[in-house]
Amino acid sequence: MAPEMRNYLRTELMPVFDRQFDGRIIVVDKRGILAADSESEQSLDTRYATPQRPELLAALDRDRPRATSIVRYSDALQNEIMATAVPIRDEFDVVGAVRITRSTDQVSANVWRIALGLIVIGLAPLLAGLVLAFGLANAIARPLARLADAARRLGEGDLSVRAQDIEGAREIEGLAGSFNDMADRVERALRAQREFVANASHQLRTPLTGMKLRLESASAAAQGSHQKQQLEAAEREVDRLSEIVDRLLVMARRIESGESRVVDLGEAAGAALARWAGRAERLGAHLSLRSKGASAQADRTDVDQIFDNLIDNAITYAPGPILIETGLEDSRAFVAVEDRGPGIPEAERENVVERFRRGSGAPAGGSGLGLAIVRELAEKWGGDVSLAEGKEGGARIEVRFVASQT
């Protein structure tokens, strides 16, 4: 290597390398003589490519010069180092070699810095994506939450509620519009239903009153006892129908006024016993009441109709002792009617609560609608119906409601 090149390496390049690289850089000529050293000049012009430095020997190999990187122990540094030597070529001739050495601690530290940098580079877009996703989720969730609240209020009976000021994606705004259209239709349908119930009940009172008067006149003029009994029975049925019409009117007024639908089951049971005591006595049945006090979330008219169907069935198909019971069990309010008749076979209990289905042992003449109406009215208020054998035989039909805390 020419003296000018050696001088250039030592005075110009090595100071630059020393500032840019965290390690030791040396340059040897093709004979392995040290031409430049970034750390010290003490060993300059001495043979440096020795068997103790195989990386330099590989870089200066005449037959197959090659870049080599090895990790070995340095006696001078008393430490593990990584040494990388690369041939210096002048066209096809090898004129020397450059070697960079670093301690393995430095290499590990650099690797960790690079790895940390890659982690940061990877986490940055991930965090940005999470922030963006969180923002988008909130933008979607807020209008959906308002829509869900509106749906809940509509389900609780607030027919005036609408999905107002819901902005967001086109699909969400479309969903809000569909909800408002549905709420409008539900409100119109329920108002029409309420008006029909109120109007029909009111209009029925006049012909029922006329029928009552005609039956009373016919009963007074009846010649035979059998004919008179039939007319009196028809008169009682008209009275029952009038009571149903009156209850429908009460229900319509309650719905319009928004009264709370909480029913004292004990009071309803007592009223039912009073309504049916006369008919029960005529047909050879005896009604008794066991009330432990319970309130249910339901409508009084529906509860009265449930009692009427259950008691009517028991009197008709199982005359004898009949127990009417109310109370609380497993946090549910219940009403039950238990008789001592022939009972309902277990295989038929699921079927008899369906419309137009009757038990195999039921006498002719029934419609098969009583228990089906009871089940539908119970389910209307979140309740259910169960059929079982009574404690002393017969059948026990129990209707459970959501208990009221008030």
Q: Return d(Cα 305, Cα 270) in angstroms, integer.
A: 14
84 is in which domain, residue-wise?
Answer: 3-108
Evaluate if pTM is beyond 0.75: no
Q: How many CB atoms lie within 10 A of CB 16?
A: 11
| Strands of 157-275, DSSP E | 262-264
**Please, which residues bridge with residue 389 across strands?**
395
- The DSSP result for 318-349, as a single string, is S-SEEEEEEEEETTEEEEEEE--SS---GGGT
| Percent composition of the chain: helix, strand, coil (DSSP 3-state, to 5) | 50, 20, 25
* 179 in a structural domain: no
What is the number of domains present in the chain?
A: 2
Model confidence pLDDT, tens digit, residues 42-53: 778 888 888 888
| pLDDT for res 357 | 55
| pLDDT for res 49 | 87
Model confidence pLDDT, tens digit, residues 204-218: 777 877 887 888 888
| pLDDT for res 366 | 47
Which helix (DSSP H) or strand (DSSP E) does residue 388 occupy?
strand 384-389
* 236 in a structural domain: no
* 350 in a structural domain: yes
Tens-binned pLDDT, residue by residue, of the chain (406 aa): 666 666 666 666 666 666 666 678 888 888 888 888 877 777 788 888 888 888 888 989 888 899 988 888 777 667 788 888 999 888 788 888 988 888 777 666 777 778 888 888 888 888 888 888 877 777 777 777 877 888 887 776 677 788 777 776 777 778 888 888 888 888 787 777 667 766 766 677 778 778 878 888 887 777 778 888 888 888 888 777 777 777 666 666 655 554 547 889 999 999 999 999 988 888 889 999 998 878 888 888 889 989 998 998 889 888 889 999 999 988 889 999 998 888 777 777 676 777 545 554 555 444 556 788 888 888 888 888 888 888 888 888 899 998 886 5
Among 60, 83, 108, the domain-final residue is 108
* 333 in a structural domain: yes
Among 108, 131, 147, the domain-final residue is 108
**CATH code for position 103:** 3.30.450.20
**CATH code for position 394:** 3.30.565.10
* 150 in a structural domain: no
Among 53, 77, 108, the domain-final residue is 108
**Alpha helices (runs of H) in 222-264, residue ranges in sequence order:** 225-257
* 185 in a structural domain: no
Structure tokens at 39: 């750390």
* 384 in a structural domain: yes
* 383 in a structural domain: yes
Distances (CA, A) of 286 to 266, 270, 314, 327: 18, 14, 10, 21
